[in-house]
Amino acid sequence: MLVIDAITVGYEDFPVLDAVSLMVKAGEVVAIVGPNGAGKSTLLKAVSGVLPLRAGSVRISGQEVFRLPEADRARYIAVVPQARSLPGAFSVYQTVLLGRTPYLGWLGRAGQTDLEHVSRALLANGQPCPVRAGDQHAIRGGAAACAPGAGVGTKYTRFIAR
């Protein structure tokens, strides 16, 4: 469960969100909708621990996000920033595989289990594997999470589990 409790966040002296609260149950799909400049991306940055909070708290599965080591935090949530193209012309498959990074060994190489998790997640959403580089648009834009408990883009709502 994700619990956002009265968070206030902003940039320098400019507050963007003031006392925002939200609770999302495991498996629930939530859309963050609003006009440009409303704070959608700021909210995602705050929830993921990228942007510090001025007040309030963010908890995932009862744990304070900002107190988790980065590797543990990455097992709960990841953000893919909006971009025109993925770095190095990554395919959708390769980009989703990046979501397995917190589970890789010290050499950082994906094993058969990691490849199977990614393939199952993409196939469960009707995406053939491997995915052509031209299909990057399927996960690009806004924020897309590819960690357990987080949906992969708006169309991809299956989860990549351990």
What's the CATH code of the domain at 59?
A: 3.40.50.300
d(CA 122, CA 132): 13
Residues 80 and 136 placed together within one structural domain of the fold: yes
d(CA 100, CA 147): 7
Residues 39 and 109 placed together within one structural domain of the fold: no
Query: What is the pLDDT at residue 83?
Result: 66
Query: What is the pLDDT at residue 159?
Result: 41
pTM above 0.85, yes or no: no
Containing structural domain, residue 83: 69-162
> Based on the structure, what is the number of domains in the chain?
2
- Give 10-residue mean pLDDT values along the chain (162 residues): 95 92 92 92 90 94 90 82 68 84 84 88 75 45 37 40 38
Tell me the chain's radius of gyration from C-alpha atoms.
16
Residues 139 and 112 placed together within one structural domain of the fold: yes
Query: What is the pLDDT at residue 80?
Result: 72
Query: What is the pLDDT at residue 130?
Result: 56
Q: How far is CA 26 from the centre of its chain?
A: 14
Query: What is the pLDDT at residue 8?
Result: 97
Amino acid identity of residue 54, one-letter, is: R
Residues 50 and 85 placed together within one structural domain of the fold: no
